[in-house]
Structures are given as C-alpha cells and as structure tokens.
Amino acid sequence: MKRILLTLGLVAAAGLALAGPRDNSLVVGASQEPRVLGDAWAFVSSAAIASEIENFLWAGLEYIDIDGNDQPYLATEVPTTENGRVKVTDLGEGKKRIDIHYTLRDDIFWSDGEPITSADVAFYYEVGKYPGAPVQDPSYWNRVKLSVQDDKNFTVSFEPAYFYDLVGSAIGIAPAHVMKGEWEKTKAEIAKLDPEKDAAKITELFQGFVSKFATPNALNKGSMVYSGPFVLKKWVPGSSLEMARNPKFFLTPPGGADKYVQKVTYRFIGDTNALLVAILGGGIDATSSVALTFDQARAPQLVRRAQGRFDIWAVPGVIWEHAEVNKFANVQEVKDLMLDNPKTRQAILYAMNRQGLVDAFFDGLQPVADTWVHFADPNANPNVKKYPYDPEKAKQLLAELGWKDLDGDGYLERKTDDGRTVKFELEYVTTAGNRIRERTQVFFQNDLKKVGIKVKINNAPSSVVFSNDFFSKAYDGSWKGLFEFAWLFGIVDDAGVFTCKDYITGETYVPTPENNYSGVNFNWCNEEFDRLRAKAMIEFDAAKRKQYWQKMQEIWAEELPALPYYWRSSPLVVKKGLVNFVSSTYFGSFGYPTTNAWLIGWAENGAQQVFDQAKYGISAVEQ
Amino acid sequence: MIAYTLRRLLQMIPLLFFVSLAIYTLVALQPGDPLEGLIFQNPHLTQEDIAKLKAAYGLDQPIHIRYFKWLGRALQGDLGLSRTYAQPAAQFIYGRMQNTLLLTGLSFLLALAVAIPVGVFSAVRQYSIADYVVTFFSFVGYSTPVFWLGIMLMLLFAVWLPERLGRFEPIFPAGGFVSPGTSPETVGWWAYLKDRAWYLVLPVFTLSVLSMAGWTRFTRSSMLEVLQQDYIRTARSKGLTERVVIYKHALRNALIPIVTLVGLAIPGLFSGAVITETIFSWPGMGRALFDSLLEKDYNVAMAALVFLAFLTALFNLLADLAYAVVDPRIRYN
C-alpha cells in the first residue's frame, strides 16, 4: 500500500516538477479566493484578491504605477489640464465640474479579436446607471455622466467633481458585444418589477446578470472575453485558477512576450499555516498580496530555508493601525478623563512606546505612523508634530491637566468640578481573537501604567465591536475610551474619516442621534481642517492641493483626533529569479504585485528586470 | 412499520418549520448586517444611500417578514441567490456537498473499517499487550487535535520527508484537492483519479483518526459487555467455534449501540469538517457554512442548515428503523 501511495505521489508530483522557470510558468499562493471575477460594477464582490487576479485579465483606461502616478493603459494618454483633456468649470458655491476627454488606443482588442471601443465604455455606463442597480458607491454614479463622440473618443464628466475623479480610470469598461444580449433580457425582467417594492428582487436580477459571466462556471464555459495580458483557462473553485498569455494583448515586454511567464496559476489555500507549508514544500513561486500573515512570513522555518531560494519582503501598505478616541463629552467617562482635550490625547501618545512596539513585535518592519497620511503619499507632510516615546513629557502634560496620584496606588486621580474624585482608568477596546492587537494592548497597558494610567481592556469579537450598536454609538457611551482597529487609506483618501462637516454637501459625519449615527468621526470638529478639506476636494492643481493637505496634517498632528500606531506592511515571498512580481505602497492603488502583469517573468528565461523590489520594501531575510 | 415511518415523516414537517424559523432568527440576529463593512468604509454614503442599499439587499424589513418571504420561496424550490457567490444557494450547496461527501464518506468508511475489527480484536484479547497497544493509540488518536495533526502530516509529507529524501516534490501535497491543470480532459480519467487520490490521503486520514479512535473504544467496550452475557457462555458450551461465537453471537449484539452511534454520525458527513477542510483547503460544506455565517450570506447559511436539520431528522428515523433490523426484539407499531 505504501508503495502504491508513494508511486501515486511521484506520478502526480511530476506536474509540479515542471513548474517555474522550466516551463516559464508561475504559481502564486493565496489564502483567499475570489467569488467572481470581472464583476466590473461590483454588484457581487470587490475583494482584494479579485482585483489582484483581475489585473491579469482585464485592462482599465489607466493604472496607478509603482510610484503612485497615473499611467495610460487602454487610453492613449492620461488626461490632464496641461494636455487639454481635462476641463474644469467653476459652478460657484464651492462646487466644480470636470470634463475628462479620453481617446482609446487603436491597437486594443478583446481576446476574441473584437476591437475595444467607446461602445464598451457606454455599456458599462448604461448598466451602472440603470435605476435600481445595487452599486456600492452611489456617490460616484450620482455624479458621473458620459458622452460618446465616436468609436475611440468619449468624455466623462463629474458634477460636483472631486480631486480623486482624476486619479486612476474615471470610468470602467465591459465587453458590450458579449454581455449586451443578456443585459437586454435582464432589463426586460427588471421592467416588470416595481423599483420601490421589489428592490431586493431587482438586486438579484443584477447579480444574476453578472453571474452569467463572472462565476467560475461561466468563465470556464468561455462566457467572457479579456483585455488584459492573460486569459482565464480554468478555474477549479476551492483549488486553483489557471491563466495563459493573451495573444491579443497590445503591450510587448522588453525582449518579447515569449521571454516572460506564459502560464500563471493561483493556488487557493485558505489556512495560512497550510499555505506556509506549501511554500516550504516548493509548490509556490510567489505569494499573493492576500497570503501569509506578517509573523508567518518571518517564521524561522521559512527564513532559514529562504537563503538562495526565496526573497521575503515587507512592503509598507496602506492599512493604518490606530486607536480611535471617544471625544463625546456628554459621556461621563470621556468628560472625567478629558479625552475631548487634545492635551490628554497627546499625553497618551507620548506615553506609548510605538517604536518599541514595532521593534519588539515586527523587527521594526512596520513603520510608526505620524498621521493618517502615508509617508509614501505624494501629499505627506514630513514636518508634522511627532510624538516620540517620552513618559516624562506625558506625566508633565497630565499634571498640567490636574492629574495626581492622590491615594499613592500608582494611578492618577483628579478632583472634578462637581467635587468627585476620578481615577484615570481608560477603557481600551479591540477585536477579540486578533493576537497582534491583544498583544499591542498589553504592551501599551504596561506603558500607560508607567505614567499612572490604568487601562481596562474590554474586547469582543469583530462582529460585535463593528456592529452599528457598538461601533457607531460612541455618543451613547457604547465604548468610552480607546478603540483599536485599522482603516485602509488608498491613494484617493479624502480625509472623510476625520471630517466633521462637509462644506460641499452639507453632511455631518459625527455619529449622533440627529443624523441617525451616520459617519465615523467620533466628535472631532475643527473648522479650519474642514474648510481646508473642502478646498482640497475641488482643487485639481496637485501643487495647490498639496499645500492644503499638508496644513491639514499639521492641524491633525497637533490635535490628534485619533492615535496613530503604525502602517501595516504586507509580506511578499518571491522565488529567486522571478522578476517584476513586485509590490509598493500604491502600485495598482493598493499594492498589487500584478499591476504590470505582462512584465512578470523568470530572469533565466530572458525576462528583464524593470522594477527593483528593494526600492519599495525591506528584506526580511537580512534582518 | 410503514405507518410508523409515515407518522415520523409527517412529524418532520412542523419540526423543520420550527427549526428553520429558529435558524433564520438566530442567523439574522447575529451582530451586524452584510452592509455594515461597506457603510463604514465609505463615509460618502448618505442616509438615503444607506436606506436604498438596505432595501436592495432586503434588509429594510423586520425579521419575521423576511423569514416568511424566504419560506414562501423555499417551498417553491427557490432557496435564493448566494449574495457572495452570485449563484443559486441550492446549486452552490450541491457542489460543496459532493466534495464533502467524498472526503467525509471515505474517512467514515476508513474509520469504520479499522475501528470495528480492531475493537473486536482488542476486546477478545482483553488485557493482552495488543489490547494495551490498541488502547494507547486510541487515546492518542482521540486526544490529538485535528488542526495539529493535519499540519504535522503536511509538514512531514510535504516538507521534511522530501527534504530528507533529497527531492523537491512533496510525497503528499500540502492542501488542495486536485493538481492545477489536471482534469479528465487534459490527462485522462485514470491519471485524474490518481491525482485526486493523491490529494485525498492526508485529509481522509486526518479526519478519520478521531472517529477511528472513538469507535474502536466503543466497539471494544460493547463487545466486552456482550462477551460476559449468559448466551455467549451457552454458545461456547454448545461447542461452537470461537469464530462463530465472536462474529455471529457476540458481534451482532454488540453492533446495536454501534448502529445508533454510527447512524447519528451520518448527518455529520454532510455538514463537513470545518477544521480539516480549512487546513487542507478542501472546498466542502464545513467551510461553506462557516464562511456563509461569517459573511452573513443568509441564503447559503439557511439552505445548508435547514438541509442538515432535515438530514439529522431523517437519519434519526433511519437509525430507529435499523434497530428493528439488527435486534429482532424491537418492533414498531
């Protein structure tokens, strides 16, 4: 029996033996699997792993390059005011309109040979704009308009327009010649329903329409066509997805496409420990951006075996680990601890040894954050006020606020205006079961104890702490102190998280009963910050916008509406010799190593290195 | 017997109604709804946008209305669309069920094939060295966490042994259920089946260890109890061979409690094994159910849970009927 099993093993393993440079292929290991691919409108899903794989299969009008700049893709050039393709119109009352003129390249084709034209953009627009479409970003669809001039020229307009409308592709694209027939049937079905009463049924019809083209079954049947450097060959749900080079793709990498990988396979291994074992076993050439945890990528078993076989990189990402602070003074605990006073928040941050934390937990590979703006963002202000670990400074600030250890128990107390004695006991909430966060809590609990602040940990599972009744109801005291979690700030972040009043729309983002607990600003209202943001939002001159943005960061760092901890880094494990499978903070908006998929190849097969990962990440092997 | 069976089948209707109501309520009462993540991530959503999104996903109505709408459609055979997979929930469950049955069915058969003979062997040689060895390994198997065993087996066969043997390919793969690019069309049926078998070895073994150990212990104790009965002494005194005494008289009686145990384990075959499926990246029911609950994909969760409730009721009935088959003293009226 043993012999039979071993023989079976050898027979099947022969397939793996050919992987990598030997047959010019690539196997990527991922811990998540997309549910659908090519759901251009995100009616079903917009998962990161889907976006990463879609980079192989479909091209947009533009893409964000490794340095965070716009580059043309299907379009002939990136529209700007300088090249006359962007027209800005001032509408008064702090509102503007922009018209963005695109021209499609002449040499672009779908994988079935049909040319890519303005009709494909118009089709995308028609579906997304259709009444009842379950779009996840209604603000975009409410503001966008399209006018088509001819097969290759069209104009996308936004009213009111915001600066981020010029970042990346202004509109999507979908193959009209393939999808139109099914769309007409779907429209006929929708027409029979009442949009008010049958909203859920209409959503199902939209999702059903997408499912005809985007599910594994549909894609395996060849129901979809591709515009990217690869085409999908086979998707075995729960196991793997194979792609082969698209002969109709219009870009040729240096030296010719045959020198670069011809076949890409994604292997989906949900358990990250099992994924680590698969990497150690040699069956994986590179990890996806959704793969190992940071700790697993630095596991001694992997690092020890990495020499000469793998590079392990830590790439600073856009996930901002931080603690929100409840600043609603109507909550008794907040008032007692004066958490609405910037001085209190400054004292807490001075008392937290954030550099010590990232050194101890992450070998210093996850950089300490100064504000909510990433240091790799072109608008980052490196000169903002910083809060290095300084417990003496923290004690001094707390003393200025009237805190003293009155009873000699090592913790601070103060007399309130109404004659009560309150102890500095700070609630600290985070997602239970997240080991890093729980360890961070204990680390900071110890730091804060040194300055006389007692930390009371109050964790619950993420489904509980992020439920509306908990997360959004800080006004009612659902949480009363710090709440650690992470925001993801892409290159188009508009500081909406810290905006109190939006001077363009008139909306308020402080969750109170008055606005039905809408928004995520836990009561930090700085008029200057909000007014600067309103200006920046409609400023299409990058240099001017940067000035507003930098001033906003100064205000933010002084007032500290939240406590910035660190930027999470994404681990990337790449076999030696594989080139251009690289990541950076903003590559493809969120650091996807597949953004320039046509350049990925093996050096020994003649693929030329275009990007150097060392410029965009830190090696974890040399640490 | 027929009247009894029909009566039990009819009783299942109200039972399933209340079970489905309870499941729907519990699933819907989970903290949060499917849109919360979306709402938090997009501060631009206005109250009107949020209300529209809630209506679009049918979340604007009270739980009881949602339940009766679901029930109405379910009775017509429409279990709804999976929100996250964009395919009919029933179709999705069916696909996952096939994978799960292959894994759990094989591990069930393996566990049964090992546990009963080993349990009998251990019982008839009570307090022998062989009995102590079986008892020792049963306890080891019973107390070994599945997640640990799975990872260790993967490390052993996919990393350590290949390294020691100086080969780069794994002896058994670290997860998955078929090699990329392998299908009957590309490599032929025989090679395809061999490949699937190669992927099945570790998860089937991992999953069967716990039941193997438990059922071995159970068979042993059941046999020991039977072997002390008077009718066994009588059988021996009649001069029957030991083989006939053990297999015809003792085992048949010892099987009665084992049938109950095994019968009740059958619904578990359909529900999958979350941990084993997750570790070995096996796309089965366990993972589907777990993911659907986490992602609040209500239609998939409901379809899976109600189907499992139905199977549990059905196999309870079958186990009861099986008593009558293995024990002639039991008759249902």
- Could you report the per-residue pLDDT of B63-74, keeping only the tens digit for each? 888 899 889 988
Q: Across-strand partners of A573?
A: A312
Contacts of B162 in chain A (CB under 8 A): 281-282
Better-predicted residue by pLDDT, A16 or B310: B310
Nearest to A11 among B194, B201, B278 (CB): B194
From chain A, the residues in CB contact with B43 under 8 A are 496-497, 499, 509, 519-520
- Regarding beta strands A286-287 and A25-30, do their DSSP bridges make them parallel or antiparallel, or are they unpaired? parallel
SS3 state at A130:
coil
Q: Is the peptide bond before A160 cis (omega within 30 degrees of 0)?
A: yes
What's the farthest any 2 CA atoms get from each other in chain A?
Answer: 83
The answer to whether the CB atoms of B43 and A132 lie below 8 A apart is no
Cβ atoms of B298 and B27 within 8 Å: the answer is yes
d(CA B200, CA B212): 17
Helices (H), A298-390: 300-306, 332-337, 342-351, 354-362
Closest CA to B176 of A271, A243, A277, A269: A269
CB contact under 8 A, A15 and B178: no
Closest CB from B32, B197, B278 relative to A463: B32
Q: Match 């001159």 to its residue by tokens.
A: A541
| B282 part of contact set with chain A, CB < 8 Å | yes
User: Residue A115 pairs with which residues in a beta bridge?
Assistant: A109
Nearest chain B alpha carbon to A9:
B171
**Minimum distance, in Å, between the CA of residue B266 and any CA atom of chain A:** 24
Enumerate the β-bridge partners of residue A602.
Answer: A578
B 123-142: CB under 8 A from A? none
* CB crowding B277-307: b at 16 or more within 10 Å, else e: bbbbbbbbbbbbbbbbbebbbbbbbbbbbbb
Q: Does B242 touch chain A (CB under 8 A)?
A: no
Least confident of A79-88, B47-56, B142-151: B47-56
Q: Please provide the average confidence, as pLDDT, over all residues in chain A.
A: 92
* Interchain contact, B30 vs A463, CB within 8 Å: yes
User: CA-to-CA distance for A600 and A608, rounded, in angstroms?
Assistant: 9
Q: Is B46 on the interface with A (CB under 8 A)?
A: yes
Of B47, B150, B170, the CB nearest to A283: B170
Q: Could A210 and B87 be called an inter-chain contact, meaning their C-beta atoms sit closer than 8 Å?
A: no
Contact A398, A411 (CB under 8 A): no
Euclidean distance between CA atoms A276 and A306, whole angstroms: 12
φ, ψ at A415 (rounded to 5°): -90, 130
Q: Residues of B with CB below 8 A from A267's CB?
A: 176, 180
CB-nearest to B86 from A10, A200, A210 is: A210
pLDDT bucket at B36, cuts 50 / 70 / 90: confident
Which chain B residue shows the shortest CA-CA distance from A136? B38
Q: Which of A50-64, B135-149, B272-286 reaches the highest mean pLDDT?
A: A50-64
pLDDT digits (tens, 9 = 90+) for A212-255: 999 999 999 999 999 999 999 999 888 899 999 999 999 999 99
Laid out side by side, the sheet with A144-148 consists of A86-92, A95-103, A153-158, A144-148
Residue B318 has pLDDT above 90, yes or no: no
Residue (of A489, A616, A592, A568) closest to A294 by Cα position: A568
Q: Say which DSSP state A368 is in.
A: B
Residue type, A530: D
CA distance A401 to chain B (A): 34
Do A481 and A429 contact (CB within 8 A), yes or no?
yes
CA dist A88 and A609 (Å) reads 40
CA distance B90 to chain A (A): 14
Structure tokens at A598: 């046509």
Segment B154-175 mean pLDDT? 85
What does each C-alpha distance from A535 to A195, A374, A620, B140 come to in angstroms?
A: 37, 21, 41, 68
CB contact under 8 A, B281 and A203: no
Pairing of strands A482-488, A425-429: parallel
Report CA torsion sign: A220, A224, A225, A227: negative
pLDDT of residue A110: 98
The shortest CB-CB distance from B159 to any of A9, A280, A520 is to: A280
Q: What are B257-304's pLDDT values in tens digits?
A: 888 788 778 877 777 688 888 888 888 888 888 888 888 888 899 998
Within 8 A of A17 by CB-CB distance, chain B residues are: 168-169
Q: In chain A, pLDDT over 70 holds for what percent of residues?
A: 97
pLDDT band at B95 (very low <50, low <70, confident <90, very high): confident
Of residues B232, B325, B48, the one with CA closest to residue A515: B48
Confidence of residue A622 (pLDDT cuts 50, 70, 90): low
What number of C-beta contacts closer than 8 Å exist between A and B? 215
Pairwise CA distance, residues A560 & B236, whole Å: 87
Identify the residue among A10, A137, A221, A239 best suited for mutation to test binding to B, counting B beta carbons within 10 A and taking the highest: A239
Verify whether the Cβ–Cβ distance B194 to A12 is below 8 Å.
yes
Please list every residue in chain B whose beta carbon sits closer than 8 Å to the beta carbon of residue A221.
none
Residue of higher predicted confidence among B236 and A397 = A397
Q: Which of A286, A275, A325 is nearest to A484 (CA)?
A: A325
Quick check: B101 contacting A, CB < 8 Å?
no
Residue B214 has pLDDT above 80, yes or no: yes
CA dist A348 and A340 (Å) reads: 12
- pTM score of the predicted model: 0.86
Query: How many angstroms separate the CA of residue B162 from the nearest CA in chain A?
Result: 8
CB contact under 8 A, B169 and A10: yes
Comparing alpha-carbon positions, the chain B residue that sits nearest to A210 is B86
Neighbours of B252 (CB within 10 A): 12
Whether residue B259 lies within 8 A of chain A, CB to CB, comes out as no
Q: What is the largest CA-CA distance in chain B?
A: 88
Residue in A6, A139, A238 nearest the CB of B44: A139
